[in-house]
A and B are shown apart, each in its own frame.
Chain A
């Protein structure tokens, strides 16, 4: 059977290759092309060159004729929507995927057998026909069920359409025209202002305070300013290119369109995402493996008995029908439904814990995950700048960054702090949006840039209403932040109505602010800024910067009244007031802090043996700081750079093997070969990839998969979507996540909480274990179902168990107990063990088959046969008489068949006894399955350790018993299903065997526990 299995697998794969290789090669080439970095070069060209390239004019724009020509050449400026799978294809996929194949094969074989019988016999038995119909019905019903289940959970939005800007302002032939964004062509001169969506990839030619939000593309939460100068070789980083479908936050800009539609950076990511082929889910692979095993066993048994039947003198045709019958009998009819229901139940349970699973099979995937590649912004962090540290009074103070303000606080009584708070509140243009007074401060929306909002919230939290403070200190003049000054200042009236002096407050880059200062405020007293204090400042600045935080310096001065009397006209363009000799107050540093639950979750993943890799578009320092903060780089682990710094040697001299942690920059990643990449992934346990492009994220995921890991990717941006799609399981964020990422993902965290992933892992592992138990339970009853038929063939006894009763077990009594095992609690802490090895730890392995088929199943079969022999013996047919009786027994014209006592039976009379036997055999299987479900509750622990707390399982026990009793005693069943009432004593025939199963398995599990790694464990632990 091993032969058959591996052979068929091999053939399948090679065929696959042969069929598709030419097509695939071309597709792969395209994909590789897309995986390369963006080929934009326009940012390095001068504006004139760009104009020349697109034959456009910097003032007049394109001519209408040219634009029309380009439109025809390049097509509309819109993304090709991802090819949607038609509903019927999805439905068919449900109908013919996974287990269904097995059942379809079974059904077809049944029809085949019936056809043979119908062609050769006058009065064919309907069994095979009914069985075929039932199998078909089971597949169709379960298919419909999972189709609707999936349709329900995957209401995906047509996301790309929403992202395309509707209108664009272009300049053509010197006139500004508002056109549909789809008509924008390369070379068009477009104008964007704050609030617009960028209509295409544009090379900025002029800009006024223009800032764009690139977060959906690069993962940086901070708006980026745009200007005509090329600031970086990388088109994604340079300032003079604005990207399609990002937002212009403020200011205005004018630019020349360089790419449209699918050629834009966003378009390339979208195409890359939708073009990626995802592999099978781990559970699908497991099911495939399971089908191989089952098929192997079925074919082996079938062929053996085929040969046996021929030897015993049956005709070829009979032997073929036996062969088909045995193969079909091995199909676990109810298992498909059981697995589907188990997965659905878990999916529902996860949905309750805010994990929405889009694809049912993905439920288990998190459980198998061995590597999580997590995006930083919005996933690990709150995606909200927050004041983390302050430096004043020559001391670093820690601010509370937790989401619920449960963290530590600092001494707020210092006069310096009050001054610092005042400067931060006044020299700040951010303000809360109206109508949010009931909301907690941290949840309020703020108009203004990220760091100012952070300051605003910080001050509002610690000092009360900023608005009131600003009202008391009326603003007189203001110089906004610009990149030349690198500071922002404003002049205010003082709070004290008698004090007519003006207060000048300034904030900005610390070194710039310090330059403007001559004194420093310490403990509320102004002190001259000497070298010692300057060094203290430098140290604090370096330290905070090293934490990956954005540091701002604050200073103020009270302008002398004699020089600046009340009513002095401050001129902000031609500065007519003092900006030197200010008094330095302190530093405040901000960071996008990690979510509260993340460090704990990362720790849990660690202990569960899952490698957590950070892949972010953000800067290495910030990334590393957050990685350290959440435990992705654990305490005490150093990167190569850290070691070099500690030992004071060049980086090149450090043995990379010494460093467990690694921070890898995107630009370095570009130059790495595949082997080097594998080296990094293999040799470092704690890895941070910073400044990565979407394509690189994809490459990282592929690298991990190449090393055999099952990879989960979490992310929220468009830039994450290729990686999300490629990953074994993509997890998108429900609140902050972009629609594209949600579409590419398999699972959505509705509360954006990374900790939910831990839940997912836990549930996934649990369902994998419980599916094993469920399958072990379901497969066991296969043996008592198939042995009657085998003995019927070999020793010619009347058939002990009929097709209808088999179906009653598989689709009736076995269902609820099998499903109830999905509710079983974990035996041990599943989060403390390593993720399963997909090559070794299979859902169904030989040991499970050995236990289910070879041991428990055999005992069950004996229980059934015992009931069968009891009934026949008590009715007059002793076992010795039965052997060989089959031909006469099944002969309709023989109406005087003698039993052991000499009584003569008509055909109908003995058939009633036979069907009573079927019923008894069926009831016996129910009885032995009681014991089976109880032993399947655990794989290692004793039932007494595990307890019987699974209420569904207890319900299942009663339910199957009630169903069995109903089938046996309900009037009319003799006509409908040919099941007959049993005498009460016949229910007890299988009890000893049920007890035997329980004792046997308890002993087995005891041996497993006593001798870990011993023979019993190696041979029977599944």
Chain B
């Protein structure tokens, strides 16, 4: 620093000292040596790191993660996704809901009929492999926008996958669910979150394999064992949502080992806001 003080071009000589042939205070060979050192040093470090990662991979099973305590209980998610848990668009403005219909179309590609035709991959399940609600598929085939514009808002539900998660067989839980209970089905129930919205929701229709997720799809054994696995979906259609109002709707799946959390709003349930302008 002292040198800098004395001569005006202090830093310039620091950058390139032609007298000693020094660049940034080091000669070429000095730079080369330190550079080589760091190359070798980091090379060794990288080797050690890769070695430890390999050791880590050796301890992992290909079929099942070591710990699953964080991923259970399963979450409940919906397509199209909400933004800040809100689905809002205007019926008169096609561009406002285009992202939702696009997301839906993209999502449903996996479920295309032609992909489900390979009998080798899809075990015969007695005609129940057709996962998609017919009406919904029709809607998609013609024009989803029409569905939307009819204020028939459709959301697809699916339960998050968790390896080897086996939902309970007898889910005799809450009384109001009893009429809906069907064997081999995990029940779903949607209702208004706020009391005052009770009469603004209108009719909710469920499509798919009943009002719930069929049990025969569980447990899921992971990508390796279940490469062609398709997740069961349930479509819900709101036929008569009140327009121009913010409506909060909560959907829940029920089961003995399906839990809910205050903090995680997608664990076993979700609630979403609809705000549909005319």
Find residues 872-889 in chain A having any chain B CB closer than 8 Å to their own CB: 873-876, 878-879
Stretch of B76-84, B143-151, B184-192, B249-257 at the chain-chain interface: B76-84
Interface 0/1 of B11-23, CB less than 8 Å to A: 1001100000000
- Asked whether A908 lies within 8 Å of B163 as measured between CB atoms, the reply is no
> Chain B nearest CB: distance from A974 CB in Å?
9
CB < 8 Å: which of A865, A893, A996 contacts B84?
A893
- Asked whether A7 lies within 8 Å of B41 as measured between CB atoms, the reply is no
Query: Which of A839, A905, A913 has most chain B Cβ within 10 Å?
Result: A905
The docked-state distance in angstroms from the alpha carbon of A892 to that of B81 is 10
Minimum CB distance partner of B165 in chain A: A903
Minimum CB distance partner of B268 in chain A: A906
Interface size on B, residues (CB 8 A): 59
CB < 8 Å: which of B11, B37, B267 contacts A6?
B11
> Chain B nearest CB: distance from A1014 CB in Å?
12
Residues of B contacting A447 with CB < 8 Å? Answer: none
- Majority SS at the chain A contact face: helix
Residues of B contacting A858 with CB < 8 Å? Answer: 42, 45
CB < 8 Å: which of A839, A865, A901 contacts B222?
A901
Counting chain A residues whose Cβ lies within 8 A of the other chain, the interface size class is 35 or more
Task: Determine whether A896 belongs to the interface, using a CB cutoff of 8 Å to chain B.
Answer: yes
Query: Which of A839, A908, A916 has most chain B Cβ within 10 Å?
Result: A908
Minimum CB distance partner of A865 in chain B: B49
- Asked whether A896 lies within 8 Å of B53 as measured between CB atoms, the reply is no
- Asked whether B75 lies within 8 Å of A903 as measured between CB atoms, the reply is no
Task: Determine whether B239 belongs to the interface, using a CB cutoff of 8 Å to chain A.
Answer: no
- Asked whether A908 lies within 8 Å of B267 as measured between CB atoms, the reply is yes
Query: Which of B24, B65, B229 has most chain A Cβ within 10 Å?
Result: B65
- Asked whether B70 lies within 8 Å of A1019 as measured between CB atoms, the reply is no
The docked-state distance in angstroms from the alpha carbon of A983 to that of B71 is 16
> Chain A nearest CB: distance from B81 CB in Å?
4
Find residues 136-170 in chain B having any chain A CB closer than 8 Å to their own CB: 158, 160-163
CB < 8 Å: which of B10, B158, B162, B264 contacts A903?
B162
The docked-state distance in angstroms from the alpha carbon of A901 to that of B65 is 7
Interface 0/1 of B53-69, CB less than 8 Å to A: 10011001001111110
Task: Determine whether B92 belongs to the interface, using a CB cutoff of 8 Å to chain A.
Answer: no
Minimum CB distance partner of B223 in chain A: A902
Task: Determine whether B198 belongs to the interface, using a CB cutoff of 8 Å to chain A.
Answer: no
Residues of B contacting A876 with CB < 8 Å? Answer: 65, 68, 71
Task: Determine whether A438 belongs to the interface, using a CB cutoff of 8 Å to chain B.
Answer: no
Task: Determine whether B120 belongs to the interface, using a CB cutoff of 8 Å to chain A.
Answer: no
Task: Determine whether B125 belongs to the interface, using a CB cutoff of 8 Å to chain A.
Answer: no
Given the contacts A859-B45, A893-B85, A905 and B75 also touching, CB distance less than 8 Å = yes
Residues of B contacting A862 with CB < 8 Å? Answer: 45, 48-49
Task: Determine whether A869 belongs to the interface, using a CB cutoff of 8 Å to chain B.
Answer: yes
> Chain A nearest CB: distance from B244 CB in Å?
22
Residues of B contacting A88 with CB < 8 Å? Answer: none
Residues of A contacting B265 with CB < 8 Å? Answer: 908
Find residues 579-597 in chain A having any chain B CB closer than 8 Å to their own CB: none
Task: Determine whether B218 belongs to the interface, using a CB cutoff of 8 Å to chain A.
Answer: no
The docked-state distance in angstroms from the alpha carbon of A816 to that of B146 is 67
The docked-state distance in angstroms from the alpha carbon of A420 to that of B236 is 125
- Asked whether A896 lies within 8 Å of B11 as measured between CB atoms, the reply is no
Residues of B contacting A901 with CB < 8 Å? Answer: 63-65, 163, 222-224
Query: Which of A865, A903, A996 has most chain B Cβ within 10 Å?
Result: A903
The docked-state distance in angstroms from the alpha carbon of A292 to that of B4 is 13
Minimum CB distance partner of B220 in chain A: A902
- Asked whether B267 lies within 8 Å of A909 as measured between CB atoms, the reply is yes
Task: Determine whether A289 belongs to the interface, using a CB cutoff of 8 Å to chain B.
Answer: yes
CB < 8 Å: which of B5, B25, B161, B220 contacts A2?
B25
Task: Determine whether B180 belongs to the interface, using a CB cutoff of 8 Å to chain A.
Answer: no
Minimum CB distance partner of A983 in chain B: B67
CB < 8 Å: which of B2, B14, B161, B270 contacts A839?
B2
Residues of B contacting A892 with CB < 8 Å? Answer: 84
- Asked whether B261 lies within 8 Å of A908 as measured between CB atoms, the reply is yes
Task: Determine whether A947 belongs to the interface, using a CB cutoff of 8 Å to chain B.
Answer: no
CB < 8 Å: which of B1, B2, B53 contacts A879?
B53
Minimum CB distance partner of A913 in chain B: B70
> Chain A nearest CB: distance from B158 CB in Å?
7
Given the contacts A13-B5, A870-B56, A908 and B77 also touching, CB distance less than 8 Å = no
The docked-state distance in angstroms from the alpha carbon of A892 to that of B65 is 24
Residues of B contacting A2 with CB < 8 Å? Answer: 11, 14-15, 24-25
Residues of B contacting A13 with CB < 8 Å? Answer: 5
Interface 0/1 of A845-874, CB less than 8 Å to B: 000000000110011001001100110011
Residues of B contacting A410 with CB < 8 Å? Answer: none
Residues of A contacting B122 with CB < 8 Å? Answer: none
> Chain A nearest CB: distance from B4 CB in Å?
5
> Chain B nearest CB: distance from A293 CB in Å?
11
CB < 8 Å: which of B38, B163, B223 contacts A854?
B38
Task: Determine whether A125 belongs to the interface, using a CB cutoff of 8 Å to chain B.
Answer: no
Residues of B contacting A865 with CB < 8 Å? Answer: 49
The docked-state distance in angstroms from the alpha carbon of A6 to that of B266 is 55
- Asked whether A903 lies within 8 Å of B2 as measured between CB atoms, the reply is no
Residues of B contacting A874 with CB < 8 Å? Answer: 60, 65-67
Task: Determine whether B263 belongs to the interface, using a CB cutoff of 8 Å to chain A.
Answer: yes
> Chain A nearest CB: distance from B236 CB in Å?
16
The docked-state distance in angstroms from the alpha carbon of A289 to that of B2 is 11
Task: Determine whether B34 belongs to the interface, using a CB cutoff of 8 Å to chain A.
Answer: yes
> Chain A nearest CB: distance from B169 CB in Å?
22
Residues of A contacting B34 with CB < 8 Å? Answer: 1019
- Asked whether B24 lies within 8 Å of A875 as measured between CB atoms, the reply is no
The docked-state distance in angstroms from the alpha carbon of A870 to that of B52 is 10
Residues of A contacting B84 with CB < 8 Å? Answer: 123, 892-893
Task: Determine whether A944 belongs to the interface, using a CB cutoff of 8 Å to chain B.
Answer: no
Residues of A contacting B25 with CB < 8 Å? Answer: 2
Given the contacts A289-B1, A862-B48, A869-B56, A896 and B77 also touching, CB distance less than 8 Å = yes
- Asked whether B49 lies within 8 Å of A894 as measured between CB atoms, the reply is no
> Chain B nearest CB: distance from A922 CB in Å?
18
The docked-state distance in angstroms from the alpha carbon of A292 to that of B14 is 15
Residues of B contacting A123 with CB < 8 Å? Answer: 84
> Chain B nearest CB: distance from A954 CB in Å?
29
Given the contacts A2-B11, A3-B15, A862-B48, A902 and B226 also touching, CB distance less than 8 Å = yes
Residues of A contacting B261 with CB < 8 Å? Answer: 908
Residues of A contacting B11 with CB < 8 Å? Answer: 2-3, 6-7, 10
- Asked whether A878 lies within 8 Å of B1 as measured between CB atoms, the reply is no
> Chain A nearest CB: distance from B67 CB in Å?
5
Task: Determine whether B110 belongs to the interface, using a CB cutoff of 8 Å to chain A.
Answer: no
Task: Determine whether B33 belongs to the interface, using a CB cutoff of 8 Å to chain A.
Answer: yes
Residues of A contacting B163 with CB < 8 Å? Answer: 901-903
- Asked whether B56 lies within 8 Å of A896 as measured between CB atoms, the reply is no
> Chain B nearest CB: distance from A888 CB in Å?
11
- Asked whether B161 lies within 8 Å of A904 as measured between CB atoms, the reply is yes
> Chain A nearest CB: distance from B269 CB in Å?
11
Given the contacts A865-B49, A1019-B34, A909 and B1 also touching, CB distance less than 8 Å = no
Residues of A contacting B158 with CB < 8 Å? Answer: 896
- Asked whether B71 lies within 8 Å of A866 as measured between CB atoms, the reply is no
Residues of B contacting A432 with CB < 8 Å? Answer: none
Q: Could you list 23 A-B pairs, sorted by A, with CB under 8 Å?
A: A2-B11, A6-B10, A9-B4, A858-B42, A862-B49, A873-B56, A873-B60, A874-B60, A875-B68, A876-B71, A878-B60, A892-B84, A895-B160, A896-B158, A896-B160, A901-B163, A902-B223, A903-B162, A904-B77, A904-B162, A905-B160, A908-B267, A1019-B37
Beyond A10-B11, A869-B56, 8 additional pairs, beta carbon < 8 A: A2-B24, A3-B14, A874-B65, A875-B71, A893-B81, A906-B75, A908-B267, A909-B264
* Chain B contacts to A: CB under 8 angstroms: 1-2, 4-5, 8, 10-11, 14-15, 24-25, 33-34, 37-38, 41-42, 45, 48-49, 52-53, 56-57, 60, 63-68, 70-71, 74-75, 77, 81-85, 158, 160-163, 220, 222-224, 226, 229, 261, 263-267, 270
The 9 closest A-B pairs by CB, nearest first: A908-B264, A906-B75, A6-B11, A876-B65, A904-B160, A874-B66, A902-B223, A895-B266, A906-B266
